[in-house]
Amino acid sequence: ARAALLCAALVAAGCAAAGAAFGPYGALRAALAALAGLGLGELVLRHCRRRFGGVTGDVFGALAESAGLTALLALALG
């Protein structure tokens, strides 16, 4: 659990650093978009584990697509 939190913090920090090119609001927006994507990915993973009893390649694909779409929507609408 700690490794996952550390990884999420590093991803958010990296996205904030990339968003900093657009000012402080851009950094915050990019970090929050990344956290929203990671959060939705975690929810989808938990649901699939409970519903299917495990993880398959299709689940990994769904995680990647849903997390990416959530981050892009957060950036576009933010």
Closest by CA to 61, choosing from 48, 76, 75, is 48
pLDDT in tens, 46-78: 999 999 999 999 999 999 999 999 999 999 997
Q: Does position 43 have pLDDT exceeding 90, yes or no?
A: yes
**How large is the average pLDDT for residues 14-30?**
96
pTM to 2 decimal places: 0.88
Beta strands in the chain (DSSP E): none
Residues near 31 by beta carbon (within 8 Å), at least 6 away in sequence? 12, 13, 15, 16, 19
